[in-house]
């Protein structure tokens, strides 16, 4: 196998069949030199068994871990990656065949970018029953300032980073993300911290992933509460560290999408919708204030020691 110029990390937990679909789509990429690292935090062996169909593909590295939390899993993959660029997608996503070539080209064009987000499209689903989280930018964005970050909202299902600067920043905050102390926003957090460290963030519509993570409308409120609590915990950290310039992001999120947008229906004599965002954001912020942070790297200090991952053959 050629030395990889880009690595891919898929973090998974108890989603054996969808993880296998994600792996198949990534291995179908036409990039000439990449590796795929699957970090498996499952509580059983179903994912390991499902991935055995790919055991003869030397590009695939399977890592079993008894840890819990998306931020932790992303860091395991980041540390094990051999390439200078690391792409991330979720275990319920599919990628087009040129996904890695486009991501690598985009980051090569902007050497000061430490983080990149591509579009995330919804897979087929019945919109009367539920939805699939997605994000699309219509034109390329180069996010250089905290004010720019207010209007850039890429998501971790379609994300890539420059490995060395992100490791120097302390990697992903392991308190953030599904399964963590704060159950979301490790993706938004790494973008904000990159800007705070003097790096840029790129949003590109030049490529995409397809997200198949269906949620019912009944689950939407719980998902929104989780996401906004995570954002509050992420965006309060720079303020705790005395980085007042980053306060523009905190205030924008609190006052515009979390408060003003839900109140707009009132001006049309309708009930406000979405005020739970404000409550969840405030809750995450207040909870975040109670936990110590590393003021230089802007990460919450680890609460418990982490178990070491084990890379193994399928």
Query: Mean pLDDT across the chain, nearest whole number?
Result: 94
- Residue 18's pLDDT is 97
Query: What single DSSP character describes residue 181?
Result: S
Tell me how many domains the chain contains: 1
In sequence order, what DSSP letters do the residues of 205-245 get, joined into one string? Answer: EEEEEEE---EEHHHHHHHHHHHHHHHHHHHTHHHHTT-GG
| SS3 state at 79 | helix
- Residue 303's pLDDT is 58
Query: What single DSSP character describes residue 307?
Result: P
Q: How many whole angstroms separate alpha carbon 296 and alpha carbon 21?
A: 39
Antiparallel, parallel or unpaired: β 34-40 and 6-12: parallel
Confidence band, pLDDT 50/70/90 cuts, at residue 243: very high
Task: Of 233, 108, 86, give the one whose Cα is nearest residue 167.
Answer: 86
- Residue 2's pLDDT is 84
pLDDT digits (tens, 9 = 90+) for 20-59: 999 999 999 999 999 999 999 999 999 999 999 999 999 9
7-18 burial code (b ≥16 CB/10 A, e <16): bbbbbbbebbeb
Residue 304 has pLDDT above 70, yes or no: no
Confidence band, pLDDT 50/70/90 cuts, at residue 305: very low
Residue 308 has pLDDT above 70, yes or no: no
Rounded to the nearest angstrom, the gap between the alpha carbon of residue 14 and the centroid of all alpha carbons in its chain is 18
- Whether residue 47 is contained in a domain is answered as yes
With pLDDT > 70 as the criterion, what percentage of the chain qualifies? 96
Q: How many residues does the chain have?
A: 314
Residue 138 has pLDDT above 90, yes or no: yes
pLDDT digits (tens, 9 = 90+) for 179-220: 999 999 999 999 999 999 999 999 999 999 999 999 999 898
- Whether residue 109 is contained in a domain is answered as yes
Residue 164 has pLDDT above 50, yes or no: yes
Assign residue 170 the CATH number of its domain: 3.90.550.10
- Whether residue 274 is contained in a domain is answered as no
Residue 311 has pLDDT above 90, yes or no: no
Task: Of 90, 194, 74, give the one whose Cα is nearest residue 142.
Answer: 194
CA contacts within 13 A on the Cβ side of 50: 21
Q: How many whole angstroms separate alpha carbon 296 and alpha carbon 302?
A: 15
- Whether residue 252 is contained in a domain is answered as no
- Whether residue 144 is contained in a domain is answered as yes
129, 218 in Cβ contact below 8 A?
A: no
- Whether residue 16 is contained in a domain is answered as yes
Confidence band, pLDDT 50/70/90 cuts, at residue 271: confident
- Whether residue 49 is contained in a domain is answered as yes
- Residue 302's pLDDT is 67
Antiparallel, parallel or unpaired: β 310-312 and 60-64: antiparallel
Top pLDDT among 256 and 272 is at 256
What residues make up the domain containing 61?
6-216
Q: What is the mean pLDDT of residues 283-307?
A: 86
pLDDT digits (tens, 9 = 90+) for 69-118: 999 999 999 999 999 999 999 999 999 999 999 999 999 999 999 999 99
Residue 267 has pLDDT above 80, yes or no: no
- Whether residue 303 is contained in a domain is answered as no
| SS3 state at 159 | strand
């Amino acid at each position: 196998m050629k030395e990889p110029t880009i690595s891919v990390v898929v973090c998974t937990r108890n989603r054996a069949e969808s993880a296998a679909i994600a792996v198949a789509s990534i291995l179908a990429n036409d990039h000439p030199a990449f590796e795929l690292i699957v970090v498996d935090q499952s509580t059983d062996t179903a994912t390991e068994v499902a991935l055995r169909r790919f055991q003869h593909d030397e590009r695939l590295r399977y890592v079993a871990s008894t840890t819990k939390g998306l931020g932790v899993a992303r860091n395991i993959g980041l540390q094990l990656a051999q390439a200078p660029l690391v792409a991330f997608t979720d275990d319920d996503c599919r990628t087009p065949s040129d996904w890695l070539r486009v991501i690598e080209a985009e980051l090569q064009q902007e050497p000061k970018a430490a983080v990149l987000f591509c579009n995330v499209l919804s897979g087929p689903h019945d919109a009367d029953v539920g939805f699939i989280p997605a994000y699309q930018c219509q034109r390329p964005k180069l996010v250089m300032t905290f004010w720019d970050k207010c209007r850039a909202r890429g998501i971790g299902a379609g994300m890539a980073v420059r490995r060395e600067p992100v490791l120097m920043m302390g990697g992903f905050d392991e308190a953030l993300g599904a399964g963590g102390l704060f159950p979301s926003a490790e993706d938004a957090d790494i973008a904000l911290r990159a800007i705070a460290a003097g790096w840029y963030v790129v949003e590109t519509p030049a490529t995409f992933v397809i997200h198949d993570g269906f949620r019912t409308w009944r689950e939407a409120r719980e998902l929104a509460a989780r996401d906004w609590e995570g954002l509050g915990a992420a965006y309060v950290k720079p303020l705790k560290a005395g980085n007042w310039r980053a306060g523009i992001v905190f205030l924008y999120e609190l006052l515009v999408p979390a408060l003003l947008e839900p109140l707009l229906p009132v001006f049309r004599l309708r009930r406000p919708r979405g005020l739970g965002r404000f409550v969840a954001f405030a809750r995450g912020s207040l909870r975040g204030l109670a936990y110590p942070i590393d003021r230089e790297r802007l990460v919450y200090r680890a609460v418990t020691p982490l178990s070491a991952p084990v890379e193994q053959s399928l």
